[in-house]
Amino acid sequence: MSLPGGVERRQFDGGDEALSTRGEPAYGEPVVDGWRRWDARRSKLGATLELGLHTGLSAGDAVLYLGAANGTTVSHVADFAGPTYAVEFAPRPVRDLVEVAEARDNLVPLLKDARQPETYAHVVESGLDAIVQDVATRGQADVALANRKFLADDGRLVAAIKARSEDVTEAPEDVFERVLDQLREGYEVLATERMEPFHEDHLAVVATPK
């Protein structure tokens, strides 16, 4: 398993091992010696790492996180990354996200729509090392393509594609193929993996901009 610097497997109560990052607790997760449990069943990126995909993420990376919700996963990202821009469009979870950011100077919460990157382009730096995407909306490939301009030439897109957000009637396999075809308009897809048993009808994708 290829883990970013700052992400380790640690033993928690009950003797089970789990991914963890070192930082302030954010959502009631178990903590042992300062290491916070990162539950893959609550985090698409955590599941991606558990599945063994080489994400290319590294300690100190500048990251744009799309679909930050209330900060569960992005809090772990900010524990090991550098500047971390967290985009979420729903006001209620952003209130939680702001609280998570109070303990992390490198985490910048943005109440914005990931489908409209022009609204936060004045805040988010260009030449980022990574985009982490977890947006539950139709047009997930469009979101990734619209935000591609923020990535460095050798940057990475690490995305979780949710089939049911695209079309609840279409077979997930067909949805994934269609979304990947769209992504290839601006990205080279490096790796994909279905996210079961952690998340049903999701596909983990790692790509780099063309």
Residue 114 assigned ligand-binding role:
yes
Write the DSSP string, 80-91: HSSSEEEEE--H
Residue 17 assigned ligand-binding role:
no
Residue 147 within a domain: yes
| Strands 63-66 and 128-133, sheet pairing | parallel
CA distance 169 to 112: 29
Residue 136 assigned ligand-binding role:
yes
75: containing domain:
39-209
pLDDT tens, position by position, 159-203 = 999 999 999 999 999 999 999 999 999 999 999 999 999 999 999
Mean pLDDT in residue range 60-70:
98
Mean pLDDT in residue range 90-113:
97
Residue 33 assigned ligand-binding role:
no
Residue for token digits 């995407």? 133
Mean pLDDT in residue range 129-147:
97
Number of domains in the chain: 1
Residue 17 within a domain: no
Residue 88 assigned ligand-binding role:
yes
Residue 192 assigned ligand-binding role:
no
CA distance 93 to 99: 10
- The pTM is what? 0.97
Residue 61 within a domain: yes
Mean pLDDT in residue range 63-83:
98
Residue 70 within a domain: yes
Residue 168 within a domain: yes
CATH number at 131 reads 3.40.50.150
Residue 135 assigned ligand-binding role:
yes
**Percent of the chain at pLDDT exceeding 70:** 100
Q: What DSSP element (H or E) covers 190? A: strand 187-194
Residue 16 within a domain: no
